[in-house]
Structure 1
Amino acid sequence: MLVQLASMRDAYAEVLLELGEEDSRVVVLGADTSVSIKTSLFGDRYPERFFNVGIAEANMMGIAAGLALAGKIPFVTTYAAFVPGKCLDQIRNAIAYPNLNVKIVSSHGGLTVGPDGASHQTIEDVAAMRAIPRMHVVVPADAPSTKSLIAQACRTLGPFYMRLSRPSVPTIYSASKDVEVGKAKILREGSDIGIVACGIMVNEAMEAAETLSKTGVSAEVVDSHTVKPLDSETIVR
């Protein structure tokens, strides 16, 4: 079977342009990674709503907090290795504590960036952001779910952290098969075991379930894209 690959970064850039057209409050901030993460496309179309702060991630969070207080909807974007690593204090105290409407989107999450070196690989970000009160944590599985979840985050008040991957990934969701923030999605029914995953591991879980089926094991696969708040009801079911 031919697997269709698509980039989460491209999907993120596309939905930002759509949201920017729909709502003039949407602004985008970057820290010298905008070309790589494709948010420079937003800056090309809406230069007055695009802010490249340079390599100053902690300051970027403070600026985003100020923009949110002024009624804007800031999307703050950089690599996962730098969020929250370089700016945990600012995220915790300037954004989450006052419950500001800031959307933090990281790319290059996990161990998917081998060519960029060990300093750009991160496995701590989801755990750290999940521990911050009031923070939503969302990890999409593919490009279509990225677009849907980003759009929902934009329309939901409060701070969000969303983690994307660098490489193109297999498409799991069709355009008409929406996902919902806060609600885990059962992608494959099963009666023997359950596999719960998020992000790029969802496709691995689907492949594992298919392999198990050939040995007579029926595996259910759940995409728990919203890590916080966790949909424990669907998972336990």
Structure 2
Amino acid sequence: MNIKMLSTGLLMLSTAAVAGSGHEWGYSGSTGPENWAQLSGDYAACGGVNQSPVNLTGFLEAELAPINFQYQKGAYEILNNGHTVQVNYKPGSFMEIEGQRFELKQFHFHAPSENHINGESYPLEAHLVHADKAGHLAVVAVMFTEGSDNEGIVKAWQQLPETKGQKNTLTHPISVNELLPKERAYYRFNGSLTTPPCSEGVRWYVIKQPMQASMPQIKAFADALGHPNNRPVQPLNARQVLQ
């Protein structure tokens, strides 16, 4: 596992519309996902064998430890980096699993979903990005079906940045708990960042129970970006998905 690459990936996710080395990438055309690995040597991992997202299927039964979520109302800033709409989080919120603590750094969205479950795509997916003190990454993914308004998204979208590069301060306290269902059983697999530099060694926890978001909420996100922002699913190869 390349800790430097993981840290660079986290920084890119948190602050930039262009990945750390300055190489442009996107979701279509010559800079689209099928070409990411060739855009820069920094993105070579995008052609790796343990990439995300995936189609979660062929589950292996396992006794997975529960995740202890300790989230505060720490969301303070929302930005549109041209690749997603992202909410940055103050220090002090974390998840613990099997004795390891990962601090929540930010959460962001993809529409349609990047991960699939048994071949099913969802209209929206949230990624809760965490890191431990050594820079190892853990991502909690939450799927959304079309339905009622999500209260956390209601608060965030009140300051929704509608143009690339726009950053707004959140005026209403938001806890990422509002994006999580009460039932928090999950699927577990090892993967990567879903955007360049596509660093591998990322722990993925996909919550089984989807949440709801209204079509106006989903459309507002899509309109702010102006394009889909889902990387196609990648081969599982030798990996197994635990449940």
TM range (shorter): under 0.3
Normalized per residue, the structure richer in strand is 2
The two structures have a TM-score, normalised by structure 2, of 0.23
Higher relative contact order, structure no. (Cα contacts within 8 Å, ≥ 6 residues apart): 2
The two structures have a TM-score, normalised by structure 1, of 0.24
Normalized per residue, the structure richer in helix is 1
